Amino acid sequence: MNPPSKTRSAVKILAVLKKAHPDARCALNHRNPLQLLMATILSAQCTDVRVNKVTPALFRKYPTAAQLAKAPLPQLETLVRSTGFYRQKAKSLKTMGRILTDRFRGKVPRTLEELVTLPGVWRKTANVILGNCYGVPGIVVDTHVKRLSFRMGLTRRTDPDKIERDLMKLLPRKDWTFFSHAMIFHGRRICTALRPACPTCPVNSLCPKRGV
């Protein structure tokens, strides 16, 4: 069981983040679950800015899972090359399209258990889809959420799945998706990896590891 003080701290941090980043949202441009799934797969080891430059052409050329499944692998590789690890990502996209077509009638599934059966999809990716497309709250533990959660004393874990479970115990379920977005925004804007702006950080008074 989590200490009451840690739960209170998490709720206070959430309140501060709501005021500091009311615009927090998914930074990957998309219009439907399939597009977000494709974009999230491409975002591994790549910036959202770069992914958003690549996906418009990808979405236009392969708007459905069936079309993605039939895509020539060299064409996919060319389209996603600038996102890094392009061969593996192209293979994951094509295989994902085939599985969606064969097993899910071309639709992106609505459960975490089904989503993680897709290539290139882990709990983080599944929670992105569930929270932003289907309204199912989830904690997304990316590099920012991992770093900030440790700095703020919300977890001592290093494994993303264990961090996710720690945060789920501390925060109201209805706020899980927003909290993830807000932590990511905060990590990009203020609590950066190398030079966190602690003196101007609104979470400063609640953070036990200022400047770490």
Q: pLDDT in tens for each of the 212 residues of the chain? A: 466 789 999 999 999 999 999 999 999 999 999 999 999 999 999 999 999 999 999 999 999 999 999 999 999 999 999 999 999 999 999 999 999 999 999 999 999 999 999 999 999 999 999 999 999 999 999 999 999 999 999 999 999 999 999 999 999 999 999 999 999 999 999 999 999 999 999 999 999 866 55
pLDDT at residue 2, as a whole number: 60
Cβ within 8 Å of residue 26, ≥6 positions away? 36, 128, 132, 181
Cβ within 8 Å of residue 4, ≥6 positions away? none
pLDDT at residue 211, as a whole number: 52
Q: What is the pTM of this model?
A: 0.93
124 has catalytic annotation = yes
Residue holding tokens 């999230």? 40
- Domain ranges in the chain? 4-25+139-206, 33-122
**Residue among 161, 163, 131, 123 nearest 146 (CA):** 163
pLDDT at residue 145, as a whole number: 98
Domain topology for 4-25+139-206 = Endonuclease Iii, domain 2 (1.10.1670)
Q: Is the separation of the CB atoms in 203 and 152 below 8 Å? A: yes
d(CA 60, CA 37): 15
Catalytic pick from 89, 94, 124, 146? 124
DSSP 75-143: HHHHHHGGGSSHHHHHHHHHHHHHHHHHHSTTPPPSSHHHHTTSTT--HHHHHHHHHHHS--------H
* CATH class (in words) of the domain with range 33-122: mainly alpha
Catalytic pick from 6, 18, 48, 142? 142
Q: Is the separation of the CB atoms in 14 and 179 below 8 Å? A: yes
